[in-house]
Structure 1
């Protein structure tokens, strides 16, 4: 008895092709979703790294604000006579120009030429000079820098020096930057009880709060806001 050989019919081929297409589309969708997740995670990680860099740098310098050496009284022998004024307002946030100005002890040896150098024997004398100054025997040099951080054109910039120094870009894609100060109730209190962007009495400042919002230029992730608080180690005048 002979059996007629049978193959696939047109309908069966169409069904197989449709099922294969569905499987391929599913695999493609999974691949696209995985790729989008990878790209968005990379974008978020890059934003976090940018925020960590600029905020950690600023916090390190904020903690050194008001450290002008080992004696409270310093003779101003700077060429412009501007060191005393810097001592009176060692940290300031200008809401109008969005600039944070700090006068801080130089952190490490890679900060370049200081704005001032305080030369002191830590017993009887302390004198502030402009620029770099080398101590003599029995003296200690304290490099002091004036730093200006500004928020402009979606960038955080930084410059150092007196007057209006040239500024370099630290981070891009910034949509918001804000600074507030933790204030004690009085100059003798230890803990901060309120926050203000324009404190009237620098002696009440106990901490500084920084708020930074970064955006992804390609809109792959939402805006991310980072907040940090740094306590001042030195009492301001």
Structure 2
């Protein structure tokens, strides 16, 4: 009889995680998840901030460049220019334009209120300028032929937090011709999200008989009429503008700005705001001695 011996079966004991190990794993997972979420939130905030800063810088550079290009031509008038529309007395018109590079209320018979205005209680200013040109600030010819130049008057102002411009035919404003072409005087928006727009005017010394273009002091629009009466002339412009950036950015506290000669202003919210300032020399007023016109 053959006996067969079987090897005893070994029982393997299975061992799981202890409660302490599970709790440690959960705690580590929470810490890692919290760190990842914090990084994502931080990246989102940084991206919003960068976008707000970028859009504010781009808007500021755009409007400063555009305003500089347009305003450098203030006071321009060449009565001998063959493209200048000639149906008025261009010699008299040249004297008027050069004596009123920045018109004030009362200068125009058909729109008496039009002129540079100082904003009350820190409100934005109205800037109005004169020059010879081919189009107004909106790009309109106002009824003139394609190659004709005429007396252009442009107005810049803030409405509903938008910087806008409106153009006029100076001859219509002076009652020398009826309005033609795009004379609805609709304002075009140049820039959105504008908190404040301020202007100062550099004037010459009335006693300087040589007609030098060096400004001796800066005045606001409320002082221009008296300056003109004293035979001073506007030869430079200082502009300041505060722009709000795009994006959901909330600073610790609202920003405060001191623009030109104005009292400090505080932003209405905690968003990203930035101020831009520029000084523009009116090169067409250089060495022009203002007369009594």
Question: Secondary structure of 1:209's match?
Answer: strand
Name the count of aligned residue pairs: 214
C-alpha separation in 2, matches of 1:132 and 1:85 = 20
> Post-superposition shift, 1:193?
3.2
Distance 1:167 1:82, change over 3 A: farther
Q: Report the Cα distance in structure 1 between the residues aligned to 2:94 and 2:197, rounded to whole angstroms.
A: 28
Partner of 1:104: 131
Inter-partner Cα distance in structure 2 for 1:110 and 1:46: 24
Counterpart for residue 156 of structure 2: 149
Aligned to 1:211: 240
Deviation of the 1:90 alpha carbon: 2.0
Rg bigger for which structure? 2
Alignment match of 1:195 (pick from 200, 218, 224): 218
| Shift in Å, 1:215 | 2.3
The answer to whether the 8 A contact 1:90-1:103 is kept is yes
Once residues 63 and 197 of structure 1 are traced to their aligned partners in structure 2, the CA distance between those partners, rounded to angstroms, is: 19
8 Å Cα contact 1:68/1:142 also seen in 2: no
Give me the whole-angstrom Cα distance separating, in 1, the residues matched to 2:136 and 2:186. 21
Do the aligned partners of 1:99 and 1:149 also contact (CA within 8 Å) in 2? yes
User: Residues 3-22 of structure 1: matches in 2 within 5 Å?
Assistant: 6-22=15-31
What secondary structure is seen at the aligned counterpart in 1 of 2:44? helix
CA distance in 1, matches of 2:13, 2:216: 95
Paired position in structure 2 for 1:54: 63
Structure 1 window deviating more from structure 2 (59-68 vs 212-221): it is 212-221
1:38: how far off?
0.9
1:181-202 alpha-carbon deviations (Å, 9 max, x no partner): 1233345334323211133137
Task: Measure, in 1, the Cα distance between the counterparts of 2:129 and 2:47.
Answer: 39
Alignment partners' CA distance in 1, 2:60 and 2:45: 23
Q: Which runs of 5+ in 1 are unaligned?
A: 116-130, 136-140
Residue 234 of structure 1 corresponds to: 284
Counting only pairs closer than 5 Å after superposition, residues 176-191 of structure 1 correspond to structure 2 as 176-186=196-206, 187=208, 188-191=211-214
Q: Which runs of 5+ in 2 are unaligned?
A: 1-9, 104-115, 174-183, 250-270
Q: Which has the higher strand share?
A: 1
Kindly report the root-mean-square deviation, in angstroms, between the aligned alpha carbons of the 2 structures: 3.5
Asked if the contact 1:192–1:207 (Cα under 8 Å) also holds between the matched residues in 2, the reply is yes
Match of 1:121 in 2: none
SS class of match (2:284):
coil
SS of aligned partner of 1:132: coil
SS in 2 for 1:176: strand
User: Partner residue of 2:272?
Assistant: 222
Going from structure 1 to structure 2, the CA distance change for 1:134 and 1:37 (only over 3 Å counts) comes to closer
In structure 2, the residue corresponding to 1:191 is in which secondary structure? coil
The 5 Å alignment of 1:113-152 reads: 113-114=140-141, 131-133=143-145, 141-152=148-159
